[in-house]
Amino acid sequence: MPISPQVSPQLSLQPFYTIHSRSCSLVVDCRGNSPAILYWGVRLNEASSPEMLSLLATRQEVQACMPEEAPIALSPELGAGFSGSAGVQIHRDGAQWAVYSQIQSVCVESNNRLRIVSQCRGTEIELAHCLQLDTNTDVLTATTQLTNIGQSTLWVDRCDAPCIPVPMHYNKILGFKGRWAKEFQTQSIDRFMGAYVRENRSGRTSHDAFPAVIVHSDQANESTGEAYGLHLGWSGNHHLRIEEQFVGRAYAQFGELFFPGELSLAPGESYCSPVLYGASSSTGFTDLSACFHQYIRENLTDPRMQGKPKPVHFNTWEAMYFDLSMPRLCQLADEAAALGVERFVLDDGWFKGRKSDRAGLGDWTVDATVFPQGLGPLIAHVNAGGMEFGLWVEPEMVNPDSDLYRAHPDWVLNAAPAPLLLSRNQLVLDLTRTEVQEYLLEQLDNLLSEYAITYLKWDMNRVINQPGNAEGRAVTHYQTLALYQLLARIREAHPQVEIESCSSGGGRADLGILAHTDRIWTSDSNDALDRLSIQKGFSFFFPPEIMGAHVGPRDCHVTGRSISMATRAGVALFGDMGIEANLLAMDDTEKAALKAAVALHKKHRPLLHSGKLVRLDTENYENSFGVIAADKQEALFSYGLLDGQPNSAPGRLRFPGLDASTLYTVNIIWPQQPSSYSKSILDILNGSVISGDALAKFGVQLPLMLPASLLVFHLVFHRRHSDQ
């Protein structure tokens, strides 16, 4: 039954509510009709009261404006006169659209979680805002739940996650742009009067509009300055907005983007926004990222993966493409095992009729022309070499040239009467149909039950351009939820299987998909120089251990650029390492270097996949970062030269984040034989004992290097300076 609206505010409400984490505080102002964030930032001490903050925030009446401004509420309201973008936009056949709510209750849990319930008499809705600061990582999670407490259908155009006021001195926006094979590129602009808006209608997280932003003060960089990092954990359509109003206030909004008529609520039904994840830092971007990395490690990494080493991959795609044969696959497996690879992944081309990308999707049975005895003999060969076996799948798609489509042409999403649009020769299955869910679950369950498969590379290679179901309604929202459901069912049935989120590379990378997967394929470009910028952008929100990073061929098939093995392997070392190149075409020198890189990665994998990632502020022609152990007794730093240096002699590399009082033994551990034009630091550095203080403040004189080359430094605890 619909709930009768109760609109009288409870007398027991407090004017302010404060929650804390280890280093942050968040204060919510509940004096008005709707709740609003008064403060979010560095933890307040006991001497600072919300009343003081409220006094300091007092604003005066502005000319040609209302005497009292509508608040930047958790859901800014049209009925309250908010002149910006309303957080909830709804109607009942064009009426009851002006939300003006009143707080009904506030629940505080464990000093770090708030649940605020409000109701609106005019629109007959209930809003529940949940805000939580994670105690250990300082990450804010925030959702808005909308419930229809009226007697008729409620049409929902928008229901954003809670709105975040942006401090006035956060006058810079660091956004993310990109494309296929060039994802996670940063874009810095000055905040301006008006709205910075990114919208995504691709049906996946997208290559070009990653749902995240960093707003920061003018002087903020990797190691200093104030900033908010905000990310929407959602794998479908979304929008984000950073708006500066003419009165000088600014705010950030994130939410799901709906197509016309996509979401409606019957009486009593609810909708909950995707989770908005946020972090606040007063010490720069690196510490901001550390909050997200640790949160993922503690809260989104599945328990079965906690502490498990990430196996080094070999993926067959760029070695074979669709030209599969058992003899060559077995040869590749032997070569991979000899290099120290721990997981062999058979990519596209293994299933019925799959000789190109024009046919076969949807028919998830093994191609008998390539594997007359099924996958069993190949898996046995791979396992005999000491490797696990993984498999590529693209369950959400179907080729018109497939048995599945010929039997069920009505199972695809569409925009009838418009003609179906092919992309990469494929259409999109309607996962919201029960029969489609059951078919895919059965096909995947059969494979995972019959064969010793421990890994699925789950791909999605096209945009959902026509997201309509059989009834003609847009269903991107429900398609995304259905994907989550299918992934959850597979994990429940086969908990030993790890799943990688791939979407033509990094097209589905967000904290929503991470609740159901274990690895993200960052980009289809294995060009090492492109990868440095891609991986840098990725690292703002994701830790290295979930970042698929492969050693590609010498000649990259995406860029055509030829890059040395030392650089290709050195870039892949710092992620979830893999190889995606034709080992049969490599000479002995390349294989030896690759084998050494794999061994080096394994040796330092515990540090790489648990330490704190530290990015360095560098010039455009260079890239540098490090990973430092929690106890600061060990670190790895990478320095890459992307292009020619502007001066005849290079500059210095400093190592931030170390313990100043510790003495470190310093070695250059990659490449195996680093070289320079003349005698340099390379000839005298290894084995030197240098204080963390000197390394951070003075740094190492870099050698003359060729463009597209890099160095990896290893710093390990020698002794405390006080122990001398």
CA distance 261 to 93: 11
What letter represents residue 433's amino acid?
A: R
Pairwise CA distance, residues 652 & 697, whole Å = 10
How is residue 499 written in tokens?
């799943």
Choosing from 459, 518, 527, 659, the catalytic residue is 459
Q: Which amino acid is at 488?
A: A
Task: Report which of 706, 617, 593, 718 is spatially closest to residue 662, judged by C-alpha positions.
Answer: 718
- CA–CA gap between residue 216 and residue 430 (Å, rounded): 41
Is-catalytic flag, 459? yes
Closest CA to 459 of 519, 393, 398: 393
In 3D space, the residue among 393, 292, 308, 388 whose CA is nearest the CA of residue 351 turns out to be 393
Give residue 567's Cα distance to chain centre: 25
Please say if 430 is a catalytic residue. no
Q: Which ranges in 241-398 belong to alpha helices (H)? A: 285-295, 317-320, 326-339, 376-384
Extended beta strands in 134-193, E state = 140-148, 154-159, 164-165, 172-179, 182-190
Buried b (16+ CB within 10 A) or exposed e, 152-182: eebbbbbbbbbbbbbbeebbbbbbbbbebbb
The token pair that represents 554 in the structure block: 């010498």
Q: Number of C-alpha atoms within 13 angstroms, CB side, residue 635?
A: 31
As given in the structure block, the two tokens for residue 473 are: 């309604």
The string of DSSP letters for 360-417 reads -TT--SB-TTT-TT-SHHHHHHHHHTT-EEEEEE-TTEE-SBSHHHHH-GGGB-B-TT
Find the angle CA(593)-CA(599)-CA(601) to the nearest 5 degrees. 100
Contact 343, 309 (CB under 8 A): no
Q: Which residue among 524, 527, 576, 659 is the active-site one?
A: 524
Beta strands 498-501 and 455-458 are parallel
Residue 324: closest CA among 367, 268, 376, 261: 367
Question: Does residue 707 have a cis bond before it (omega within 30 degrees)?
Answer: no
Whether 80 contacts 57, CB under 8 Å: no
Residues 319, 322, 324, 328: what is their CA dihedral angle, to the nearest 10 degrees? -20
Distance of CA 317 to the CA centre of its chain: 24
Quote the CA–CA distance of 705 and 638 in Å, as a whole number.
14
* Secondary structure percentages of the chain, helix, strand, coil, to 5: 20, 30, 45
Burial 341-355 (b: 16+ CB within 10 A, else e): bbbbbbbbbbbbbbe
Do 506 and 523 meet the contact criterion of CB atoms below 8 Å apart?
Answer: yes
**What DSSP line would sit under 665-708, residue for residue?**
EEEEEESSS---SSS-GGGT-TTEEEEHHHHHHT-EEPPP--TT
- Give the catalytic positions in this structure: 459, 524
